[in-house]
Structure 1
Amino acid sequence: MKAIIDEFKLILNGKFIFIIIIAPLIISAAFGYVFKNNQLNEAPVAVVDMDHSTYSQHLIEQLDADQYIDINYITYNYTDPNDFLYNEKYLGVIYLPAGLEKARAQGNQSNIGFYVDTALSTATASLRTGATEVITAENSTASSGKLVAMGLNATQATNLSTGLNLQTRLLYNPTNNMLMSSVIGFVNTVFLSILGGATLGIVPRLREQGLLAGMVQKPLSIVFRVIPYSLIATASMYLVMGCLKQVGGLRFEANVFQLFIPFIMYTIALSLLCMMVGWSASSPAKAAGRITMILLPSFILSGAQIPVALLPPILQQVSHALPLSWHFKFLRGLGFRGGDLKYFSQELGGFLILITCILFVIFLLILNERRKARKAERDGVNTLPEGPTDSGTTVVTSDTGVNTTSTDSSATLPSGGKPQKV
């Protein structure tokens, strides 16, 4: 208990609370505001109409009516599509070929050109969806018209032209909101660097202060030192999620009380991992540089940027050794999908196994520290200096390596040379 109180006092006298709470909060508020309008509607598009027909005008109107497309410019002369896309005034160019209306009336196929600026792939994703929807609807209408002309009624014609209708429902993140991917990944990376930087220096600080040798005799007094950091970091994570939800409109459906369990497990696991990595450093300053050993693998392998499923199988297994990987599983499962904690028994078990493995390594490090302390103590006893001491005692090392002492009687005689009676 004393170790926990000592760490709390140290935290209160430093800047950790200010940094772990304010920095992620500012970042989440800024990114939440920037990416609030995640989806681009009414993307500007230019049309080159080479048909000059009634049907081409109808098709342009249908395209313009789509929520993702805004027809800003129409020309009836051939123009190089690059002329529209160079300065990003338009995100796409649609070419309607000559003879489009005639081909439709005869039931022949026409190829409509659609040039999309994929240098801005995020902005043009919805644009391609909108154009596909319009063309699909036009094809269905054309097929139904031909069947009606053959003698079928409108219902029969529609059923034959669209016999199979795929009804798609996009779950959890239908608008591909970047808050639920890139922003969450970046905020948690910053969070990891702050918490990791603080807990990396716990053991080196104790070593520098000369307290580690006594602490290793009570291993729990070292392990418990991560608890204050974990509690404060957990509170900070609650604030960050609330800020993203209020400022950026993040879809986060987790139960507030259930969320505490994976949050505290993550912060404890990360703190212990950082303690393990920074253990052998001689000072907190030298330990701080080791944060890259945790930060870079976590950023690449945890799913912060790319899904873990896209990684090679061996790297998918390695990702299980990173606390951030388990943290993202709970964020997506509880927060984004709104699942109940009872569905995550395997994930909780995996998290506990990871924490247990880290604790096991830490206790091995403690045993090694004890061994080095005993060896240093033995070496200190066997290397006492030879020669007279202040009291006249001389240390003599025998051939067997055992220290013995002898007293020089002359050191206790007065100037007359005779011993005095006491």
Structure 2
Amino acid sequence: MNSLRDELRFLFSGQGMPYEKVCLMVAMVITVIMSVLLSGNIAKDAKVAVIDLDNSAYSRELINHIEASEFMKVTAVLNTPQDPKELFYQDRAVAVVYFPPGLEKARYTGEAANLGVFYDNTSSAATSNIKEALNEIVGLDNAVANGDVGSSNDSLQGQLSLASRNLFNPQDSKDNGETLGFLLFFGAMFFTFATIGMIPRLRLSHQLDEVLLHGTPWDLLIRLVPYGFCLLVSWVVGLAVLRVWGDLTFSGSLLTFVVVQLFMIPTIGALSLFFGWTAANPGIASSRMILFIPGGFIFGGMTAPTTFFADWVVKFSHVFPLTWEFHFQRDIIARGAGFLDISQTFGAFLLYMGIVGILFCLRFNASRKELLAKQAAGAHQQEQMAALVKELAE
């Protein structure tokens, strides 16, 4: 009973994780917020690009059928040859449909014709509904042409079929999906555990006051360098193991991936210091990791395709740093994109990085003002005490 009373005092003392609050908060987040955010389980209005080299009335009719599907949304129609891989960069499309020249002619002459479909198989779940919808469109079109459904035109012959190809992860390897996602997620999570208690530790050792009075935010951010270096090395080693021992498909440049991480890792580190700033001790700070790391893993396209989420959820997910990390992972590692190919996404990330830097500097300056105000109050109190002692002495 003494042990129980002692532990109860510690639980409510504020010296450790406030579990009595955290457990209820987690329950509410999971049951209310997550159930709303994860309500979708099908791909709705997934982005589809069309390469239409026939440019006929029949091909435009097929495009309208695709656009009418609840699962697909045509975002681009090109009438010139194009490498379909480039249309997938920066998540601009989930599938690319190719209409060959002579498609309408084949429909009226009874010749067999194939529609080419290229699927982004970085997440096989993202394309399952699209595959089913395209097969239904082709089957219904053949039925109409052959007079089975609502057509009396004897000049039509339905011999249309789909020729599909899965890109980027054709064998549906787990090393290219869940395993790679866990490598990046757990690496970022333990990097956060190692750094989020830095500010409380410096406060307890009275080093933070010296930095606030005579230093700059860089004096704190520079402390992240050894931790960031360890994280970068661990990611590269993990990728090497998956590539040599496993069956990871690394299509892009390792140098491009590393350069991106030189911006990504400091951003995660700055957020780690920001969220742990006001914690009373490093133990309490560690519990705050849940506020900004897991969200990117859940909504960034690793646990479920982004096509399953509402548009506002996809946009909201970019407040989490790992959402950006998984964007770069899909483009550089899976799709083989170069730096210019991801320039738009990288530019948006630099804006995000700038916002994080501004928030960190504001937090630093606010703490400096609090410390100066506290010192001024202390000095004023000492002056009052000295005056009182002098008055009593007289």
If the TM-score is normalised by the length of the shorter chain, which range does it land in?
0.5 to 0.7
Match of 1:362 in 2: 360
Structure 1 residue identity aligned to 2:341: Y
Structure 2 residue identity aligned to 1:396: A
Q: Is the 8 A contact 1:213 1:369 kept in 2?
A: no
Q: Is the 8 A contact 1:326 1:351 kept in 2?
A: yes
The Cα shift of 1:320 comes to 1.2
Q: Report sequence identity in percent.
A: 23
| In structure 2, C-alpha distance between the alignment counterparts of 1:358 and 1:237, rounded to whole Å | 23
| In structure 1, C-alpha distance between the alignment counterparts of 2:183 and 2:382, rounded to whole Å | 56
Aligned structure 1 segments of 4 or more residues deviating by more than 6 angstroms? none
Q: Secondary structure at the match of 1:170?
A: strand
Aligned pair 1:396/2:387, yes or no? yes
Equivalent residue runs for 1:108-187 within 5 Å: 163-187=159-183
Structure 1 residue identity aligned to 2:215: K
Match of 1:380 in 2: 378
Alignment length, in residue pairs?
245
Q: Secondary structure at the match of 1:178?
A: coil
The Cα shift of 1:368 comes to 0.9
Q: Is the 8 A contact 2:300 2:327 kept in 1?
A: no
Deviations 1:252-307 (A, max 9, x none): 12212222111222211111111111111121111111111123312321222012
Structure 2 residue identity aligned to 1:243: V
Match of 2:254 in 1: 256
| In structure 2, C-alpha distance between the alignment counterparts of 1:261 and 1:386, rounded to whole Å | 57
| In structure 2, C-alpha distance between the alignment counterparts of 1:314 and 1:347, rounded to whole Å | 18
The Cα shift of 1:194 comes to 0.6
The Cα shift of 1:164 comes to 2.4
Deviations 1:199-244 (A, max 9, x none): 1011111111101111123221112222222222111111111111
Match of 1:208 in 2: 204
Q: Secondary structure at the match of 1:372?
A: helix
Among residues 186, 193, 198, which one is paired with 2:189 in the alignment?
193
Q: Secondary structure at the match of 1:254?
A: coil
| In structure 1, C-alpha distance between the alignment counterparts of 2:188 and 2:221, rounded to whole Å | 19
Q: Is the 8 A contact 2:187 2:234 kept in 1?
A: no
Structure 2 residue identity aligned to 1:184: L
| In structure 1, C-alpha distance between the alignment counterparts of 2:280 and 2:233, rounded to whole Å | 31
When the two structures are superposed, what TM-score results if normalisation uses the length of structure 1?
Answer: 0.53
Q: Is the 8 A contact 2:293 2:320 kept in 1?
A: no
Which structure 2 residue ranges, 5 or more long, are not aligned?
Answer: 1-123, 140-155
| In structure 1, C-alpha distance between the alignment counterparts of 2:294 and 2:341, rounded to whole Å | 30
Q: Is the 8 A contact 1:201 1:275 kept in 2?
A: yes
Aligned pair 1:218/2:215, yes or no? yes
When the two structures are superposed, what TM-score results if normalisation uses the length of structure 2?
Answer: 0.57
Among residues 294, 313, 316, which one is paired with 1:315 in the alignment?
313
| In structure 2, C-alpha distance between the alignment counterparts of 1:277 and 1:372, rounded to whole Å | 18
Aligned pair 1:353/2:361, yes or no? no
Name which one, 1 or 2, has greater alpha-carbon Rg. 1
Match of 2:21 in 1: none
Match of 2:64 in 1: none
Q: Secondary structure at the match of 1:362?
A: helix
Structure 1 residue identity aligned to 2:191: L
Q: Secondary structure at the match of 1:281?
A: coil
Match of 2:341 in 1: 343
